[in-house]
Amino acid sequence: MVENRLARELENRESAQRKQIWAPPTTLPTPADKEGWTHRWIRTSMMGQADPTNVSAKFREGWEPVKSEDHPELMMHSDPNSRFKGNVEVGGLLLCRAPAELMQQREAYYANHARSQMDAVDNSFMKTSDARMPLFNEKRSTTTFGSGTK
């Protein structure tokens, strides 16, 4: 019995691969991850006007500009007229990095801050509760999926 098989040379990964689907390009390039660092794009200008207040605030927060030598793959996207020479700036946004541990502490700080604000709102709300007609403070939501027809 003879089998109808393709020659081994005709079997390759490219012929079995799905066609790539087009997607719009991202506005900002994504830097390669470095162990122990968090990357973020910081606004340096808006509508053609420099924004030194925002840059200064972010630097005080712990962000530092990324040198172009650290990410040479991003230099093809960088602005040649940048005010931050030797750094990666694209369209008024400067690539910065901060230690991941510091950013986890920052995230925990703001989560705690938001939680304390919610507690204050809840306490204020429940303060007006009366035993004869109690207020309900349920903190859950539900999502239901219908069939779409009745």
pLDDT digits (tens, 9 = 90+) for 115-150: 999 888 888 877 777 766 666 666 666 777 777 665
* CB contact at 8 A, 137 and 126: yes
* CB contact at 8 A, 19 and 80: no
Residues paired with residue 44 on neighbouring β-strands, in sequence order: none
- Residue 55 exposed, middle or buried by CB count within 10 Å (0-12, 13-18, 19+): buried
Write the pLDDT tens digit of every residue in 46-78. Answer: 888 889 999 999 999 999 998 888 877 777 766
Residue 18 pLDDT: 76
User: Nearest CA to 28 among 85, 97, 88?
Assistant: 88
What the block records as the tokens of 77 is 């996207």
Would you tell me how many other CB atoms lie within 10 Å of the CB of residue 38?
Answer: 19
C-alpha to C-alpha distance for 40 and 63, rounded to whole angstroms: 8
Going by their DSSP bridges, the two strands 49-50 and 45-46 should be labelled as: antiparallel
Residue 108, pLDDT > 60, answer yes
Q: Indicate the range of 13-17, 23-27, 39-43, 73-77 predicted with least confidence.
A: 13-17
User: Nearest CA to 67 among 105, 43, 34, 100?
Assistant: 34
